[in-house]
């Protein structure tokens, strides 16, 4: 039951409660109606017996024979007059029967009639008036009630279930809207807020509380981003001075190691500053950039591993719109990452496919396991084989590359796994000359 949705649980609970209430009410209704109908039939039998008893009270009854053992019958077939004499009462109101009176169990079976008796004193002696009333109308009424209840209760339960389903769904619609909006909110768009329903109920208060929480979260993240940007910016100048001094210092092994560490810290601060700008949603410039030229320049740049050969397969005139600096960083990060993990060769391929520019950077290294195809784009994430801090960066290169691709309307993903790794970036091509350019 706990795995069912609130809507299903509410519908089942409401239907079960109504079903129990209807079953109890139906049983009570049938019982009360049956009792009342039986009482009404009994009253009718007593009324008939009383009418006949009133008519014959005080009249003389002939008693010629006590051996016949029969009783007179009234003109009404539902009334019998039983006397100690064998002869019936004759007259206009009653007919004379030649046959003896039927026994009670044959004249008024319990399942078809109710009977009533009334002793009456007459001039000829005491007689007993016995009357009966048919139970057929009561049985017909109960059968009609059962005919209505048997299909009516299930139909009513279906109606209750449908109305409850619709009502609960309507009541929970704001919750679905809040959940959908929260699912779409990421660290880059904390300015978004969940919709607040017009009703001033618990769901509206939940939405307001959620929005206040998002306000506090946006403020905290904003402060964090500003701190990172300020720290990275303030570190650049002293690091540049420190690097210049180390470069001018006498060549020693310790000086070379310190210079390498400073270079790595400079790269890290540069990455942090770029991430801070990307997170701050700074407007992207929409210059026309020759992505082929950028890829060629970054592919031929000298890198720490000169033994790794970088092959270029670049199509001409692949133009995109965006920030040349950020796009250059995207290509550089992909090539640096491939060179760092390659055994001996890296291939940079650029082509236009439809309305997209497709940039692929492939290496012949160990590849990226399928379970890490998304994790490699997380910030400060490095796989086990790249844990050695001297062999790689801080785990920000691919995160920056994907953020740049997304901000330019494209994407970046792992195209294949081992052997070797292939990272594929897709960016929208620049519109043809004369077409409307996107706003800056």
Q: 0.85 exceeded by the pTM?
A: no
| pLDDT tens, position by position, 47-94 | 888 888 888 776 554 443 333 333 344 456 777 776 543 334 333 233
> From CA 332, how far away is CA 271, in angstroms rounded?
12
Compute the average pLDDT of residues 385-404: 70
Strand 309-314 and strand 421-428: pairing? unpaired
pLDDT of residue 273: 79
Q: Which residue has the higher pLDDT, 261 or 27?
A: 27
Q: Give the residue among 282, 298, 294 at the shortest CA–CA distance from 407.
A: 282
Least confident of 223-227, 238-242, 390-394: 390-394
Q: Which residue has the higher pLDDT, 322 or 284?
A: 322
Compute the average pLDDT of residues 311-325: 92
Q: Which residue has the higher pLDDT, 78 or 132?
A: 132
pLDDT of 231 > 80? The answer is no
pLDDT of residue 104: 65
pLDDT of residue 111: 78
**Longest CA span, the chain:** 160
Q: What does pLDDT average to over the chain?
A: 80
pLDDT of residue 98: 29
Q: Which residue has the higher pLDDT, 371 or 107?
A: 371
Q: Which residue has the higher pLDDT, 439 or 210?
A: 210
How many helices (H) and strands (E) would you count in the chain?
Answer: 8, 10
The pLDDT-based confidence of 404 (bands split at 50, 70, 90) is: very high
pLDDT of residue 355: 92
Q: Is 2 helix (H, G, I), strand (E, B) or coil?
A: coil
pLDDT of residue 14: 93
Q: Which residue has the higher pLDDT, 406 or 239?
A: 406
pLDDT of residue 333: 92
Compute the average pLDDT of residues 260-280: 80
Compute the average pLDDT of residues 170-190: 82
pLDDT of residue 88: 40
Compute the average pLDDT of residues 209-224: 87
The answer to whether 80 touches 53, Cβ cutoff 8 Å, is no
The pLDDT-based confidence of 188 (bands split at 50, 70, 90) is: low
Q: Based on the number of CB atoms within 10 Å of its own CB, is 201 exposed (0-12), middle (13-18) or buried (19 or more)?
A: exposed
pLDDT of residue 120: 81
Compute the average pLDDT of residues 327-353: 92
pLDDT of residue 115: 85
> From CA 351, how far away is CA 428, in angstroms rounded?
12
Least confident of 157-161, 174-178, 259-263: 259-263
3-state helix, strand, coil in the chain (%, to 5): 50, 15, 30
């Amino acid at each position: 039951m706990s795995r069912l949705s609130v809507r299903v649980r509410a519908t089942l609970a409401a239907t079960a409660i109504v079903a129990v209430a209807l079953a109890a009410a139906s049983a009570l209704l049938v019982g009360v109606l049956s009792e009342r109908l039986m009482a009404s039939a009994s009253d009718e039998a007593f009324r008939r017996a009383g009418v006949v008893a009133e008519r014959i009270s005080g009249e003389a009854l002939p008693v010629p024979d006590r051996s016949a053992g029969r009783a007179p019958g009234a003109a009404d077939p539902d009334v019998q007059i039983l006397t100690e004499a064998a002869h019936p009462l004759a007259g206009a109101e009653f007919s004379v029967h030649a046959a003896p009176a039927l026994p009670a169990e044959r004249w008024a079976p319990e399942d078809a009639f109710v009977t009533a008796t009334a002793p009456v004193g007459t001039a000829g002696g005491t007689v007993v008036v016995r009357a009966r009333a048919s139970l057929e109308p009561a049985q017909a009424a109960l059968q009609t009630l059962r005919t209505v209840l048997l299909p009516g209760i299930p139909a009513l339960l279906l109606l209750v279930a449908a109305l409850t389903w619709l009502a609960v769904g309507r009541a929970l619609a704001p919750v679905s809207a809040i959940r959908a909006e929260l699912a779409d909110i990421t660290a880059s768009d904390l300015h978004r807020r969940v919709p607040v329903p017009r009703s001033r109920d618990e769901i509206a208060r939940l939405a307001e509380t959620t929005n206040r929480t998002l306000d506090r979260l946006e403020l905290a993240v904003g402060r964090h981003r500003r701190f990172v940007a300020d720290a990275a910016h303030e570190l650049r100048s002293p690091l540049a001075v420190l690097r210049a001094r180390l470069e001018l210092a006498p060549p020693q092994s310790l000086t070379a190691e310190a210079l390498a560490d400073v270079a790595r810290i400079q790269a890290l601060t540069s990455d942090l500053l770029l991430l801070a700008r990307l997170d701050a949603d700074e407007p992207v410039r929409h210059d026309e950039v020759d992505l082929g030229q950028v890829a060629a320049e970054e592919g031929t740049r000298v890198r720490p591993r000169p033994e790794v050969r970088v092959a270029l397969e670049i199509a001409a005139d692949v133009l995109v719109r965006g920030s040349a600096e950020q796009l250059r960083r995207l290509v550089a990060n992909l090539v640096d990452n491939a060179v760092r993990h390659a055994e001996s060769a890296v291939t940079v391929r650029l082509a236009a496919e439809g309305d997209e520019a497709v940039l692929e950077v492939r290496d012949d290294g160990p590849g990226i396991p399928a379970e890490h195809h998304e994790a490699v784009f997380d910030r400060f994430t490095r796989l086990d084989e790249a844990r050695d801090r001297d062999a790689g960066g801080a785990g920000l290169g691919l995160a920056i590359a994907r953020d740049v691709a997304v901000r330019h309307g494209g994407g970046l993903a792992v195209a294949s796994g081992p052997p070797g790794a292939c990272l594929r970036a897709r960016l929208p091509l620049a519109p043809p000359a004369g077409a409307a350019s996107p706003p800056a």
